[in-house]
Amino acid sequence: MRERTINGRPVRGERPAHEMRSRFLSLLLLAWLATGLIAAGQRHYFESGPLNCAGWETIAVTAVAGPLNYMGLKPKVSECQLPEPSQ
């Protein structure tokens, strides 16, 4: 089925399929990350603030894990090693 177009553009009110997919995937990604941030908040990771890079990494990994947090995944980073600057 072809989309109706005028001068190569979709008719007003209709969006191309690739734009709709892109918008859906963007909303899905935002919802995924929001779920992860909510899980981090429920674990009180934001109350005292991360004191070291392991705290920041734990928050980041929890946010990226998203809904997997509610299926039993509890990511935690115990130490982190930052690269040394070159001399």
CB contact burial 36-52 (16+ within 10 A = b; e otherwise) = bebbbeeeebeeeeeee
In a domain, 9, yes or no: no
pLDDT in tens, 21-67: 999 999 999 999 999 999 999 988 888 776 788 888 888 888 999 89
Task: Output the six-digit token pair for 77.
Answer: 């980073």
In sign, the C-alpha dihedral spanning 66, 70, 71, 77 is positive
Q: Is residue 67 part of a domain?
A: yes
Per the structure, the count of domains in the chain is 1
46-59: pLDDT as tens digits: 887 767 888 888 88
**Contact (CB, 8 A) for 48 and 20:** no
In a domain, 63, yes or no: yes
Instruction: Tell me whether residue 42 is in a domain.
Output: yes
Q: Which domain holds residue 40?
A: 31-79
Q: For residue 84, is it within any domain?
A: no
